[in-house]
Amino acid sequence: MGEGQKTDLKNACLGIEFGSTNIKAVLIGEGNNVLASGSFRWASSFENGYFTYSMEDVKAGLQAAYREMKEQVKAQYGITLQRVGCIGISAMMHGYLAFDAEDRLLVPFRTWQNTTTTRAAAALSELFSFNIPERWSVSHLYQAVLDDEPHVGAVARINTLAGYVHYLLTGRFVIGVGDASGMFPVESDQPCYDRRMMDLFREKIREKGLSWDPQEVLPEILVAGDKAGTLTEAGAALLDPEGDLEAGILFCPPEGDAGTGMTATNSIRENTGNVSAGTSIFSMIVLDKSLKDYYKEIDVVATPVGKPVAMVHCNNCTNDLNAWASLLGEFVGFSEKLAGQESKASEPGTIYPAIYQKALEGDADCGGTVVCNYIAGEQVTGIPKGHPMVSRDPEREFKLANLCRAFLYSSMVSLKIGMDVLKNEDIRIDRLVGHGGLFKNGDVASKILASALRSQVCVMETAEVGGPYGMALLAKYCLQKEAGESLDQFLEKKVFQEVGIRTSDPSDEIAVGFDTYTENFRKLLDTIRKGE
């Protein structure tokens, strides 16, 4: 590789995202193509009543994902990576990381999966006349206050996971407006926390006799394109313990996975939307005006530049499907062993496509088979804790195709229930883009989703690179934006102009079948509620 190519790598941009099952690093070049990537598998644990990740795993996973990406750069280009143009950190939104004045973590990280903040979320929603979901950071903070947890008096700052990692690497206590909007409501016309609601919350904190100001414990808000600090010497040593990475590299504002999903799917403009489907599933519809009312099923958050977004977030999507795929794979492997055969039929690369293809053979309404995929509680439907189960109509045939179809329907049905609420609002959706693990196996999932929502669904050829790619694009925008160039202009003209798109149109047959499945799913939830 020549010297000119080395210089090009120095202008490359790195996005690192902490997802629920993977930490991924993606390095993109001048043409926005992926030059190298790295990943680290991890999972939350349930400890002392909370879903959490250890901070040791945060650091180890960060290093492992970066190291694998760095090794790919060395192998493919013959370069020891020392510098890039800009870095961006993204992560699962919401949750609760609380620190004292000495930067000591006060309680283990409480993730977005937790549904332990019901009282706080309800009280704040009523106080603000604005929906505050259970997973938002302010819900976790206020629940700790209501419960008189010993640590609340020592709170000096709270953060999201993306904001925390950004702080470790840069020393800057800042956050992108999209991620901030999942901590505390933000103003609809400027990047700041909602002043009316902050005054109301501040009074509640004073009533509890606490000395800290909630405005001061939250990170400073920045928007896409702002410069958010540079890599410190300590940050460089943390990210690359081998010591090759140089300090001083520019950082863009840290963002949540919702913001990177919007960016990766070119869904930043008004009246565009996307559906991210992996461990959780959520839709993001960029609004051209404020909602007329507020709904417990709908979050109002923000794009990376601060435009209001109607978000339907469901805690449960593919985790139960993954468990079934593992079980079916185990059964296939056991059967092959008994028959004295060996093949790859039991491996994930075979099992998942088989489930998707078999689902196509099922009845449009899944033949009375219903799967509740709730590994965790689900606020959208009012189920407080996980309750996975399968129900079937004894008068109809129980067959594999219907079960496989129900796996896919169950991963989307809670989102449909939430999206149906938006029918009360005059909202136009010009385009809905799907991305995430659910859409990996052909167009089966996108066809079902298009039918369930009765809206055309597009899947881009870049869909699988997802959030870390979106974060790398935000870093690129920070590094290379021209004067007066908006983020949507940058994405439309310089990134997605020639990206291939597959489009799925709704099927009337599937739509009617999905409606019937939704009715049966609601009945199953009623049964679950009665049993609790």
**What CATH number is attached to the domain comprising 364?**
3.30.420.40
Q: Return d(Cα 356, Cα 343) in angstroms, integer.
A: 20
Q: Return d(Cα 400, Cα 408) in angstroms, integer.
A: 13
Question: According to the model, what pLDDT value does residue 532 have?
Answer: 61
Q: Fill in the DSSP letter of residue 152.
A: G
Type of residue found at 179: D
Q: Return d(Cα 224, Cα 340) in angstroms, integer.
A: 58
**Whether the Cβ atoms of residue 146 and residue 120 lie closer than 8 Å to each other:** yes
The number of beta carbons lying within 10 Å of the beta carbon of residue 497 is 9
**Whether the Cβ atoms of residue 13 and residue 88 lie closer than 8 Å to each other:** yes
Domain co-membership, 395 together with 527: yes
Q: Which residues pair with 76 in a beta bridge?
A: none
Integer angstrom CA distances of residue 268 from 47, 181, 297, 449, 528 = 37, 15, 22, 21, 38
Instruction: State the pTM of this model.
Output: 0.84
Of 217, 241, 260, the last residue of a domain is: 217
In a domain, residue 344? The reply is: yes
Question: According to the model, what pLDDT value does residue 514 have?
Answer: 98
The number of beta carbons lying within 10 Å of the beta carbon of residue 405 is 31
Helices (H) and strands (E) counted in the chain, each on its own, are 17, 21
Per-residue pLDDT of the chain (532 residues; tens, 9 = 90+): 333 344 468 889 999 999 988 999 999 998 899 999 999 999 999 999 999 999 999 999 999 999 999 999 999 999 999 999 999 999 999 999 999 999 999 999 999 988 899 999 999 999 999 999 999 999 999 999 999 999 999 999 999 999 999 999 999 999 999 999 999 999 988 899 999 999 999 999 999 999 999 999 999 999 999 999 999 999 999 999 999 999 999 999 999 998 998 998 899 999 999 998 888 899 999 998 888 888 988 999 999 999 999 999 998 999 999 999 999 999 999 998 898 887 777 788 899 999 999 999 999 999 999 999 999 889 899 998 899 999 999 999 999 999 999 999 999 999 999 999 988 888 888 889 998 889 988 899 999 999 999 999 999 876 556 789 999 999 999 999 998 999 999 999 999 887 778 899 999 999 999 999 999 999 999 999 987 6
* Alpha-helical regions (H) of 208-312: 214-217, 233-239, 257-264
In a domain, residue 505? The reply is: yes
**Whether the Cβ atoms of residue 15 and residue 470 lie closer than 8 Å to each other:** yes
SS3 345: coil
CB within 8 Å of 121: residues ≥ 6 apart: 132, 133, 134, 136, 139, 143
> CA Rg, the chain, in Å?
23
In a domain, residue 49? The reply is: no
**Whether the Cβ atoms of residue 15 and residue 473 lie closer than 8 Å to each other:** yes
Question: According to the model, what pLDDT value does residue 6 have?
Answer: 45
- Of 274, 276, 269, 291, the residue nearest 422 (C-alpha): 291
In a domain, residue 409? The reply is: yes
Q: Return d(Cα 28, Cα 9) in angstroms, integer.
A: 9
Question: According to the model, what pLDDT value does residue 464 have?
Answer: 59
Domain co-membership, 211 together with 343: no
CB within 8 Å of 361: residues ≥ 6 apart: 401
Question: According to the model, what pLDDT value does residue 246 have?
Answer: 96
Q: Which domain holds residue 398?
A: 319-461+501-531
Domain co-membership, 522 together with 380: yes
SS3 157: strand
In a domain, residue 7? The reply is: no
Domain co-membership, 393 together with 525: yes
Of 173, 196, 217, the last residue of a domain is: 217
In a domain, residue 240? The reply is: no
Q: 400-421 and 508-531 helices cross at what angle (nearest 10)?
A: 80
Domain co-membership, 377 together with 509: yes
The dihedral of CA 75, 79, 85, 90: what is its sign? positive
Domain co-membership, 382 together with 517: yes
In a domain, residue 527? The reply is: yes
Q: What is the separation of C-alpha 429 from the centre of its chain, rounded to a whole number of angstroms? A: 21
Domain co-membership, 368 together with 517: yes
Checking DSSP bridges between strand 389-391 and strand 370-372, what pairing results, if any?
antiparallel
Question: According to the model, what pLDDT value does residue 428 have?
Answer: 84
Residues in the chain: 532
Q: Fill in the DSSP letter of residue 223.
A: -
Domain co-membership, 206 together with 327: no
Q: Return d(Cα 20, Cα 437) in angstroms, integer.
A: 12
Domain co-membership, 340 together with 455: yes
Question: Number of structural domains, the chain?
Answer: 2
Domain co-membership, 342 together with 193: no
DSSP letters spanning 271-290: TEEEEEESSSEEEEEE-SS-
Domain co-membership, 379 together with 526: yes
Kindly report the backbone phi and psi dihedral angles of residue 430, in degrees, each rounded to the nearest multiple of 5, phi listed first.
-80, -30
**Whether the Cβ atoms of residue 418 and residue 518 lie closer than 8 Å to each other:** no
The number of beta carbons lying within 10 Å of the beta carbon of residue 114 is 24
In a domain, residue 307? The reply is: no
Of 200, 217, 234, the last residue of a domain is: 217
